[in-house]
Amino acid sequence: MHMADALISPAVGGTMWLASAGLTSYASRKIDVPSNGRLIPLMGVSGAFVFAAQMINFGIPATGSSGHLGGGLLLAVLLGPYPALVVMASILTVQALVFADGGLLALGCNIFNLGVLPCLVAYPLLLRPLLGTNTAWPRLFAGCLVAALVGVELGAFGVVLQTAVSGRAALPFDTFLLLMLPIHLAIAVVEGLATAAILAFIWHARPELRPGSSQAASDAGSVRPVALGLLVVALIVGGCLSWFASTHPDGLEWSIERAVGSAELPATGPVHGSLARLQDRTAVLPDYDLPSSGESSAETSDGSWPAVSPGGTVSGIVGSLCVLVLAAALGWVSRVANRRREQP
């Protein structure tokens, strides 16, 4: 559900940039880092894990489409809503700048749809009240499923609304909406079940990380096994398991193709052109492939599966490490800034 710049106007893109930047800045000021030494390493490794997980598209039967884990809800449960939004902003920024995945103009839209809605709406208003301190698996799976359905569908509606307000007449509102919501309903079901399964596994291994656990510890050492485990899994998933991703277009591309006959719309105007040229310079691994190949793996593939790709492996590892560093750095900056604000 990463929007390209062609879907939105400069006015909508700029407005969503301001909204997302303001909410992310507010979230960074609300992070209670000084009293929680385990948060910074968890922000880094959980961000790396979600980045890697997003590289694995799963096929949606009988549709010719695919989807991937968003990860915002998972991050909100593990970290809290405010750190989760900062981490999601880090992931989406790395994807846009390093891999040209999602437009620079549309980055504010993507942070809002994939970060703000699950982290600041679906989790605090739905999952947290539904779950409480009862982490028994039936309640966990039910709560995650409900929250994921609402969060993902709100994000899909956000894409349609932002496109409509931008005046993209090629994508009629009604047609686009009737394509986006059903296909993302299927994606939301997988998101909810996967989120619950990952949380159940982590909480079984480290019970002190459960919400309201009396065993909760504040030192970074107590979370080191989970942090190392998430990092190892992120490198394996991004470096190798990404070869097994579905080659079908994702839900957004599938919906656009069904609506207008092509998965991409042309971008027009000086703002779009300038940002496209800027993104060409920053994207050192465009489309998650080595730039020396001259074209993406999708274009050079012989159709075999799994798509074993050195460029994909490098992209998965480099991207995971970039997100780890950026998310942890933002957590550390928040810690320093918050401590200074608390000083008399």
Give tens-digit pLDDT for 225-274.
888 888 999 999 988 988 888 989 999 999 999 998 887 888 778 999 99
For residue 225, whether the previous peptide bond is cis, meaning omega lies within 30 degrees of 0, is no
SS3 category, 296: coil
CB of 139 closer than 8 Å to CB of 131: yes
Residues 6+ positions from 147 with CB-CB distance below 8 Å: 73, 118, 122, 123, 126, 127, 130, 192
Q: What is the CATH number of domain 5-296+306-342?
A: 1.10.1760.20
Question: Which runs of consecutive H residues, i.e. helices, occur in the chain?
Answer: 10-30, 39-54, 72-79, 81-99, 107-111, 128-131, 137-165, 173-205, 224-239, 251-260, 270-282, 297-300, 310-342
Query: Given this model, what pLDDT does residue 33 score?
Result: 59
Calpha distance 68→53 (Å, rounded)? 8
Calpha distance 37→126 (Å, rounded)? 27
Residue 67, pLDDT > 80, answer yes
Structure tokens at 60: 């949606």
CB-side neighbour CA atoms (13 Å) of 326: 21
Query: Given this model, what pLDDT does residue 196 score?
Result: 96
Query: Given this model, what pLDDT does residue 19 score?
Result: 98
Residue 100, pLDDT > 70, answer yes
Name the average pLDDT for the chain.
88
Residue 218, pLDDT > 60, answer no
Domain boundaries, the chain: 5-296+306-342
Calpha distance 234→47 (Å, rounded)? 9
93: confidence class by pLDDT, cuts 50, 70, 90: very high
In this predicted model, which residue has the larger pLDDT, 334 or 296? 334
Residue 308, pLDDT > 90, answer no
Calpha distance 275→268 (Å, rounded)? 11
